[in-house]
Structure 1
Amino acid sequence: MSDGHRSRHNPKLAMVLSIIFAGLGQLYNRRWIKGIIFIVAEIAFIVTLGSFVNEGIWGLRTLGTIPGEHHSIFLLIFGLISLIILGFTIALYVYNMIDAKKDAERIVRGEEKRSFIEAISHAWDKGFPYVFVTPGLIMLLFIAVLPLLFTIALAFTDYNLYNTPPRKLLNWVGFENFKNMVTLKVWKDTFFSVFAWTLVWTAIATTLQIALGLILALLVNDPRIKFKRFIRTFLILPWAVPAFVTILIFAAMFNDKFGTINRDLLSMINIAIPWLQDPFWTKTALIMIQTWLGFPFVFALFTGILQSVSKEWYEAADVDGGTRMQKFRYITLPHIMYATAPLLIMQYAGNFNNFNIIYLFNNGGPAVRGQSAGGTDILISWVYKLTFELNQYNMAAAISLILGLIVMGFAFFQFRRTRAFKEEGNI
């Protein structure tokens, strides 16, 4: 391009042309092939997906207008898919604008124009990570993000047993479901009861399994202990058995009538505990079972970490007159926590949503008068009952949203405070 053309070339005009229609800015920059590709892509989008996106946005906004003919759930899903497609389209459109402007700026600076082959090679060198990431990102959007968005959307509708498409249409109700959760007695009592037990369950069960794993790891790591390999193998055995098998076995053992705990053990001292009938004893049994299920992983984790603690540190502590407790407090424990804090946080988050043990042991029972949740239901198992047994989809979605925000907030806060996170990249 001549010097006169370069001086008159305007990057802002190139960007404006790309805003008017994708590819026009590239044609203005005399990037003919790239401009034609963008133009064809926009025309193809308008012809093939324009109508779908338009109808999807309409369905998402209205959730249908004719009962019996329009299905609000389908319209909601199509609307969310339209949003995802629209998001991709906007991202490509923005890239088209930026590309046109940068090309124009390079022309003004007098940089040599790349050939088509050179341009392809440069784009591949710069963008090959995005090429390989994009298919996985697309799958993630439709497999994980779309169901998540659908659940979030249901939390703001009136979808329940008495208002089910296609016989009736759904309506957007804003934050009414969340308001009812903490104001209406039928929901308030159950929500706060289940939420309190979920917190207690998470704190006690997880802390006990971590504490038991730590104590056993410290004992087995003691140089005075013999047969370490046999002991470690024996203690990890509960981890080798599938959790659902262990839970079902324990459910039979804790059975009030024929369970071996009442019939064979406690009967010797004339005691019969209502493990499955009294909420307190059911909760106690659940905490003990989770401690049994969870400690082998923590034990294996801590055992591996303890092998990496330098013996020189302990020798230096002995020279300084450090006691066994001081060595544990200032050497062993900080080293363990530094290396395992993220995984321990995951243990708390996992137990907060530990549906399997609650459902398989006693299905969240025993029943509680006046509540839609059982005496040992945690939030996630209550969501299951609301969805598959009571068909209260809107309230289940609202609770799921609250549940997700709590776990995300707790995990993010704890990860930010861990030393491992703060020093990442500096080790």
Structure 2
Amino acid sequence: MATKNSHDRDNNIVNPKHNPTVAALLSIIPGLGQAYNKRYGKGAALFILFAAFVIAMIDFITTGLQGLVTLGEVPREDDSRVFLSNGILSLIFTAFFLTFYILNIQDAFKDAKRIQLGWKVPNIREGFKNAWDTGFPYLLVGPGLFLLMFVVVFPLLFMVFLAFTNYNLYNAPPRHLLEWVGFENFINLFTINEWRNTFINVLSWTLIWTFVATTLQIALAMFLAILVNDPRVKFKKLIRTVFILPWAVPAFVTIIIFSAIFNDNFGAINLQIIEPLFNTRIPWLQDPFWTRVALILIQVWLGFPFVYALFTGVLQGISSDWYEAADIDGANRWQKFRNITFPHLMFATAPLLIMQYSFNFNNFNIIYLFNQGGPAVRGQTAGGSDILISWIYGLTFENQQFNMAAAISIILGLLVATFAFFQFRRSRSFKEEGTF
């Protein structure tokens, strides 16, 4: 007994009879734990909210989860897409319920622990004021979070679930019922020759496209920004305005104009430049190699103004004292660029530059608007200039291979997320301190 009293004194326990474990166990029925803690208003509100949710949603959730397993039972009457949607909504509602249910238990346990240590239970008015003060940020964030769940999470989950079904042109509901096929779509993607060859070719071009186009636009922007920032250059404002113009014009307008300029038969590139100089015409739209070259050139033109604006702002913020100290030490231009200019540029803009790579990895507009992913390639379900995102578009809206498109989308999402995660982690601008 003496040992227990000594332990209570060490932990400053004022009310040892009030047991947090009992409060948590009572909260298995929401609100009872709060009532045990003498927070009757809070307990009544929680009990009413949970009871109302269960009464209103129990039938929908149980039916939805059952339909998620079966995906329908009667062809032409049951639409598997509806069953899948209702099942996903049931999962979201269940996740919400379990989250708040666990928070209810934790709340009762923590309040009981505080009461045990001598905390005075506030009255209803004080409790409401404290809840308002602590919960106000969540009240503002709540509607956006709720909307995000149904605008982003729901479609994403729907796509993920489709990847494990046999939903395609020849097995489309409501005429047919969908079936769960496990990882069959992913296995087919890597074992069937047509799918495997197309996937490897498209993924290879996507990686080349992302790296080459983005790196060139960054390099061009850096070169021009450093050149224009030189004190000897006059009319800086005019030059910077001209360089920003490609960014000011809507991208889709520029792409459509370039698709005409690069046309094999009447495009200005062939008629005014290539043919007079080399007495030949380049098949920009008919040969996959030249289509890819044109796409990279167009993306460099479209992408460099934004990066140029970033670099220009950073360069103007670099103190001239750094360069003066380098001159005193006898550093040449290359050494000043490598040890002062380049580190400053990368440190300040690294996250945005990483986003440029991620954006181009999924840059659907330029691929589709320039040549619709063409030209066609024999033995492939994708065009010669298709990247993963445009291939997915074609599989979905043109070939109606929804299951394969969903499987490729999952792989695409994992690739982008993995690349962005590791690059952001390596970025010095995301660390608390950075040294040059």
TM exceeds 0.5?
Answer: yes
Match of 2:400 in 1: 391
Match of 1:234 in 2: 242
**Do residues 421 (structure 1) and 430 (structure 2) align?**
yes
Q: What RMSD, in angstroms, separates the aligned Cα atoms of the two structures? A: 1.5
Tell me, what secondary structure is at the counterpart of 2:169?
A: coil
- Counterpart residue identity of residue 21, structure 2: K
Q: CA deviation at 1:424?
A: 6.3
What are the equivalent positions in structure 2 for 1:31-46 lying under 5 Å apart?
31-46=39-54
Q: Alpha-carbon deviations, 1:317-348, whole Å to 9, x = none?
A: 00000000000000000000000111100111
1:413 and 1:400 mapped to 2: Cα distance? 20
Residues 226 and 60 (structure 1), Cα distance of their counterparts in 2 relative to 1, 3 Å cut: same
Q: CA deviation at 1:142?
A: 0.5
Match of 1:169 in 2: 177
What are the equivalent positions in structure 2 for 1:246-261 lying under 5 Å apart?
246-261=254-269
Question: Which of 26, 36, 49 is residue 28 of structure 1 equivalent to?
Answer: 36
Identity of aligned residues (%): 62
Match of 2:272 in 1: 264
Match of 1:131 in 2: 139
Question: Which of 73, 84, 93 is residue 85 of structure 1 equivalent to?
Answer: 93
Residues 77 and 424 (structure 1), Cα distance of their counterparts in 2 relative to 1, 3 Å cut: farther
2:352 and 2:270 mapped to 1: Cα distance? 36
- Counterpart residue identity of residue 204, structure 2: A
Match of 1:306 in 2: 315
Are the aligned partners of 2:166 and 2:180 in contact in 1 as well (CA < 8 Å)? yes
- Counterpart residue identity of residue 351, structure 1: N
Are the aligned partners of 2:38 and 2:121 in contact in 1 as well (CA < 8 Å)? no
Instruction: Give the TM-score taking structure 1 as reference length.
Output: 0.96
Match of 1:338 in 2: 347
Match of 2:8 in 1: none
Q: Alpha-carbon deviations, 1:38-85, whole Å to 9, x = none?
A: 211122112111111111111112212222222111111111111111
Tell me, what secondary structure is at the counterpart of 1:209?
A: helix
1:364 and 1:112 mapped to 2: Cα distance? 69
Question: Which of 199, 218, 221 is residue 226 of structure 2 equivalent to?
Answer: 218
Question: Which of 363, 368, 384 is residue 375 of structure 1 equivalent to?
Answer: 384
Structure 1: gaps (5+ residues)? none
Q: CA deviation at 1:167?
A: 1.2
- Counterpart residue identity of residue 304, structure 1: G
1:105 and 1:344 mapped to 2: Cα distance? 49
Structure 1 runs (4+) deviating above 4 angstroms are: none
Q: CA deviation at 1:266?
A: 1.8
Tell me, what secondary structure is at the counterpart of 1:288?
A: helix
Match of 1:195 in 2: 203
- Counterpart residue identity of residue 294, structure 2: A
**Do residues 328 (structure 1) and 332 (structure 2) align?**
no
Tell me, what secondary structure is at the counterpart of 1:49?
A: helix
Tell me, what secondary structure is at the counterpart of 1:162?
A: helix
Residues 425 and 418 (structure 1), Cα distance of their counterparts in 2 relative to 1, 3 Å cut: closer
Match of 1:116 in 2: 124
1:414 and 1:102 mapped to 2: Cα distance? 40
2:417 and 2:302 mapped to 1: Cα distance? 24
Q: CA deviation at 1:122?
A: 1.2
1:156 and 1:165 mapped to 2: Cα distance? 15
Bigger shift: residues 397-406 or 259-268: 259-268
Q: Alpha-carbon deviations, 1:340-359, whole Å to 9, x = none?
A: 11110011100000000000
Match of 2:293 in 1: 284
Match of 1:65 in 2: 73
Bigger shift: residues 347-356 or 95-104: 95-104
**Do residues 106 (structure 1) and 108 (structure 2) align?**
no
Match of 1:14 in 2: 23
Structure 2: gaps (5+ residues)? 1-13
Q: CA deviation at 1:105?
A: 2.4
What is the count of residue pairs matched by the alignment? 421
**Do residues 97 (structure 1) and 105 (structure 2) align?**
yes
Q: CA deviation at 1:113?
A: 1.9
1:69 and 1:36 mapped to 2: Cα distance? 44
Tell me, what secondary structure is at the counterpart of 2:179?
A: coil
- Counterpart residue identity of residue 384, structure 2: G
1:365 and 1:138 mapped to 2: Cα distance? 40
2:23 and 2:306 mapped to 1: Cα distance? 59
